[in-house]
Every structure is written in structure tokens, then in C-alpha cells.
Chains A and B, each alone.
Chain A
């Protein structure tokens, strides 16, 4: 008996002939993929099953690593995204048919493997659900790369400031800035040592790396702004600052660098639905004008961004997100509830 089928995880139109039982697993798996995408396989005849999910290319998790508490690195098969992605761009991701579309920054790509690297902190339902997925599982939708790439230019001395998982999108930018011939100094900040990510990779593309933690568990105790002030006091001159991290951190870095006269680029991650300029949910005020972070950004002149408005807008769905999380934990049982309680306790 021969079966003809599509393996959606790799190529949308790749056919395999199955002649023995040993390959049944592949069928099952493909069926699972198809079901994950909620598209019915259709049958041409009794002995030939064409399984297609209509060109929906699935994205297999090729590698997964825990980087810290609730921080996970994923390498996903996404050759379309990898092909033309440039530093500074992001993707929109949807992990199930009932799932929401969430914007995620790109930490790295590997064109040979056709993979993208994402570093994601589990904070809401979608990211928690994603954390439950394992290598070999597939994600139905990844759209991108989106947004305008970073303007990479030789300017002299570049200061890269990363906060928490903001270091993930910062890494490709720092790397490109270094490759074009800039001197790169990086400051990586986090609440605590276990929340620091990509230190080794950042060291590899920086001339100097300074670590700061709020609790002093690693590097200097204090905030990234303290480290910036210190460097400038020591006589360091910076031609450009690139800052990616929590909005509150970016806000204070920008207040400082404006005072110091260092041009600063920030990368914003507001609420988005489509990521192609259609919904306007991501609008931010930059220099008194309304910009869409998805198509005009995500990077903007940090000295012109209205951070207070942006931070307020990020709260739009806070109460709904809690509902979604509660609903999810009811569905999945005590394990997550425990983890939520733990979060609540913090």
C-alpha cells in the first residue's frame, strides 16, 4: 500500500511514499501537524492519502534551552523568515488555532539551517503555553521578518545597553555594529544574575562588557544608568547608544543620554495584531507625531519617544491577560497554578 503525503514541517509540497509500517510514525506526525493547523487532510483515493495543510508551513522546534527562570531560548525552523531578516526586525507568532498573534524579537538566524532564534520570557498565556512545547513540536504561524531594520553604520564608538531579555534583540544589532568596524561597549542589566542572558555572545561582539544587577548578585550593584554615568565620568566618549529592554529602563536611559548628548536608538515592543500597519494598535508618539511601531519602527530616536504614553498603552489588556491566564491554568491544572501563585508571591 502506498501513501502519498505532504510533510508540512519542512516543505509545503514534499511527498513521501510510504511502503512499510516503519514509516507510519511520519504519517501520524504529519497528521498531528495538520491537526495543529486545524486543516483537514483530504483523501484522494483509498490507497493514496494526500495530506496537505494548504501551504501552511509549520515551524518545528529544533532546539530549546532554559536560560533563566521563565526565560527560554527556542530555535525554530522558519526558512522564509531567516532568508531576508536583518538586525532589528521581529516576527509575529501564533501558536495554536485559538491563539493570539504576539510580536517577538529575533535574537539570531541561521540561513543554512533555515532557522530563527527567539528568546522568550513566559509572562502570559501564550508564552507559558509555548514553554510547554518540546523539541519536535511545531508552531503553525510565524510571520516576518517585520519592521524596519536597524540602520547599521560606522559611527565610531557604540554603546549597547540591554535590559533583561532586551539583550536578545540587541545581540544581532551589536554584532552588526561590531562587524562594520565600530568599537562596541555593552552594558547588560538585570534584576538578578539568573535573569542575565547572552553574556557570552555579547562578549564575543563587544570590546568591553559591563554587567549590572539590581541586587548585586553579579557585576556592579545598581542600574544600567549608573554604569553609563560612570563610563562617561571616566572620560569615555560615545557616538551612538542603542538601548533595548523594559520600557521604564529605556525611558531613564534616554533621559540620561539626552543630557549627555548621546544619540540613542530604542526598540519598542507595543501591542500589535497584524504587524503590517493595519491595526494601528502599536501607535506611539515620536517627536509629537503618531508612528506605527510595526512599520515605522520598531526602532525610534529614543529622545523623541513619549515613553509614559507608551507604557500606559501597554496596560490596555492587563486585566484581560489575567483572565486568559486564569482560564488557562484552570484548563491545565495545578502545575501552572502553582507557578502563577509563585509569581503572585513575588
Chain B
């Protein structure tokens, strides 16, 4: 097929559950490609000689490679190519911001002057991973020679699971310490079922277990055992405890009943399955009107969860305009389709309640955009005298999370930034303590699953070198670096 012909093929739309239907269930919204759809979509890829998409991927997946395999109908090979660089493709295909990464630099998207018309790399990735799971042809792990080195992974989220998967393949003895009763971190407690079915996460964790990774659940490093002990008893340690500290707005009335953090709302709904209450024991507050404050993916998740919990009105209140919203376009689009109302350029200044202490409304002030701030986005400025009350039964604060302080605060040897992130060598993930590595949101602050996995991948490579050489200083000199890292 000639490039011109490939260019003519329109993007293959993935079928989705009808918005009117899906707000009454927690089933996944996109329904997946059929093999035929995937093969048509794969034909759109030009197989560029210099594939920018690979550079755009934080874990450097051979994207043209797996797409070529799909085009040829060799899905097994496609899975193999995909899994060489990405341990959790079923997850990444669903939650990666492809429009900012691989698809942002795709030549097709550029030719069409619209990144949403690029090759649907994420959807193809999701297709392959789902195909593999449905076939049950999970590659049986090949026996590797044991190195006898012990590694502890603190935190079973995306970063930790990536490190665990890589290091077990190098033959190390890997134990993951997880504070919750299940592994997956934000994939379990944060991202809703309708965006990432939990069975997928469990399959990935089960796979790691089959590879030989040991999991210690309900184990809070820094509490159940001191960090020092874990460091002493292992040859290397990876800290991937995430950004689990919810930020609040610090406005009057924030402790009213019915005001809760996005973390609490989503953890109840997802990890604790409050959507089946009272079959499951964990309740979640319900109300006719639910306001979610914030403009990121987490805010979209909350607003969409609220609809599924029976809210008649679900509102997003965000202090900037739509162009500045950090949420993925697809999430905003899905939320809007489902009937979420967007009240942009509005900011709560005070929450009001009744005599029982329950929230009844939020006093919002209208905002206008001023000059760009440090983040490069135009700064929102309150319009004086524009305050008004928006009635609500529930208010969810989804304005971000800070790095979880539990490990750093109980282990003062670790150098941290003034906002609580662990300081690391960007290439190797080395911390200020020899033998201890870190990555993911505990380093970045609240970022994305794929960036955490990229960190995990790089740290695993460096940890393997450290474990085999015993060298700590100038560790990156011994690593083969990819182009992006050298740059």
C-alpha cells in the first residue's frame, strides 16, 4: 500500500457504550476494536523511517513494529513487540495521554493538522493487550538464573509494578510491599472501573506473581517496619509510594459533611466497590447535585462517578478556562457526553452548610484570565463582587495531590524537595541514599501512569546495573542511554 493510500484512510472510531446507558453502569466506556477494525487502523501507519512516535513514548515502545504486526494479522507477534518495552499495555492503552505523547508527534496527525486524527496508537495497544488476555496466551515465563540479590519495592502502583516486572526477569528476588490489601495503587483506588476495569489490573498483578514476584499486602513501610530495616535487609530498594496526599482548598466550610477529597470519593467507589453498596460494606455519600472542583483527569473521574452513583446533576467547577484544563480531551469529551456540566472560570471561596453540618452550597466567585503565570497558563483573577451561591449536596475537592510523606518523613536520610518530592538522579532514579532508588509520583508529584512506568523502567535498568556491579557513583555512565535521555 502506498503512503498516499494510507493517508486517505479515515481514523477508525472505537465503538463506545451509549452515554445515556453507561451513566447507569460502571462497565467500560470504549468497547474495543474488532480484529478487522484494528487491521484497518494499522494500515494508516506510514512505518516512518525515523519514527517520532517511539521518541514520544516515555517507555520507548517499538510502535511501528507492533502496528506492522497488527496489519499483518500477527497479533501474537504484536503482543511480543509491545511487551518488550511495556509490561502493562492493557493499562497504558487506556490511560496514557497519547495525544500529548506518541500521537502528538505522529506524521499522520501532523499531515492532517489534528493530533486526534493521528494513528490511534493507544487504541491499537489496548486491542493487542485485550486480545492477549482473551486468548489466555500469556507467555509462560522462562526460567532465569537467580542472582541471589534481594530487592524491595515500596508501593505496588504503576512505577513499582514496572520495576518488579523488570527486575524479576533479570533474576533478582523481588518483594513488593503494598499498604492496601490489593496491588495496583492508583490503577485500583483512583482510576474508575468504567475507564480501567479492575480485572485487567488484577490480571497484570497475577502475571507478576506467576513470574515469581512476592507481594506483602497491608504492609506500610515506615509503620509496619521502619524504612531502615527494609533498606538493611535488601540489596536494593525502590520507593514508588505515589502522590497520595490530597490537597484541600483551605476555604471556610471545608470540613462540612458531604465535602470530601477526590481520593476518598474514588477510593470508596473503586477499591472498596461502594457502587455495589450494600452488597459491599463501604458506603459513599450520595446526593442529587454533586460539585467537583478541579480540571484534571481526576476531577473528570469524580464527576463521571457521581453520575453513576445516581446524581441528577454533576458539575465541574474550575477556576480557569477549558483550554487550560489539564484533563485529557477524551475525558472532557466523555464527561460532556454523559451530561456533566462545566462551570469554568469559577472558584469556590466559601462552603455553606445547614444546622446538621451538611453542605448545602458553595459560594463561587467568577474569574477572568490575566497574564501567564509560572506554569505558562494565563492566571485566573477573581472578579470582585461576582460571588454567588451554587446549591449542592456533595462537593468533591479534586485540585491535586502531593507526594505521600509517609516514607520520607520516617526516613530523614532521603533528600526531598521543599514540596516533599524525593530528589533523584533523573536518568537512574538514584536517591541520596546508596542502594535506594525512587520514581513515579513520589518524585514527580501527581503526574501520569506512563511517566511513573517510564521512571520505573529506567530505575530498574539502573538497579540491575547497581546490583551486578556494586557501583553507585556515576552509575549512568554504565547505561546505554536512549536519545531522549542524552538530550
Contacts and interface: CB of A to CB of B under 8 A. Distances in A.
Bound pair (A, B): yes
Interface of A: 12-13, 52, 54-57, 80-81, 83-84, 94, 96, 98-101, 125-126, 140-146, 273-274, 276-281, 283-285, 290, 295, 309, 312-313, 315-317, 320-321, 323-324, 326-328
A12 to B, nearest CB: 8
Given A80-B219, A276-B223, A285-B255, 8 more contacts: A100-B283, A146-B220, A280-B246, A290-B250, A295-B406, A316-B258, A323-B278, A324-B277
Interface residues of B, number: 47
Contacts of B209: 52, 54
**Leading 6 A-B pairs by shortest Cβ distance:** A320-B283, A312-B357, A279-B264, A143-B218, A327-B278, A100-B281
Contacts of A81: 224
B282 A100 contact: yes
A170 to B, nearest CB: 21
Listed residue (A12, A125, A278, A321) with the most chain B CB atoms within 10 angstroms of its CB: A278
A77 to B, nearest CB: 13
A278 B225 contact: no
B207 to A, nearest CB: 12
A284 B282 CA distance: 21
Interface stretch (B5-13, B97-105, B266-274, B339-347): B266-274
Contacts of A274: 179-180, 189, 244, 267
Listed residue (A52, A80, A100, A323) with the most chain B CB atoms within 10 angstroms of its CB: A100
Nearest to B283: A320
Contact of A126 (B214, B225, B281, B357): B281
Listed residue (B279, B283, B406) with the most chain A CB atoms within 10 angstroms of its CB: B283
Contacts of A56: 181, 215, 217
Nearest to A272: B264
A324 B254 contact: no
Nearest to A124: B281
Nearest to B282: A100
18 contacts: A12-B216, A83-B225, A98-B279, A98-B280, A141-B181, A143-B224, A145-B223, A276-B220, A276-B244, A277-B245, A277-B404, A277-B405, A281-B260, A295-B405, A312-B357, A315-B257, A316-B258, A323-B277
A54 to B, nearest CB: 5
Secondary structure dominating the interface of B: loop
B261 interface: yes
Nearest to A277: B245
Interface of B: 179-181, 189, 209, 214-220, 223-226, 244-246, 248, 250, 254-255, 257-258, 260-261, 263-264, 267-268, 272-273, 276-283, 285, 356-357, 404-406
Contacts of B272: 100-101, 273
B356 A146 contact: no
Contacts of A328: 278
Given A55-B215, A280-B246, A323-B278, A145 B224 contact: yes
A279 B279 contact: no
B281 A125 contact: yes
B255 A55 contact: no
Contact of B263 (A94, A100, A280): A280
Listed residue (A83, A285, A320) with the most chain B CB atoms within 10 angstroms of its CB: A320
A260 to B, nearest CB: 29
A103 B245 CA distance: 19
Contact of A94 (B181, B226, B278): B181
Contacts of A324: 277-278, 281, 283
Contacts of B219: 80, 143
Given A274-B180, A312-B356, A280 B260 contact: yes
Contact of B220 (A99, A143, A316): A143
Nearest to B202: A39
Contacts of A140: 181
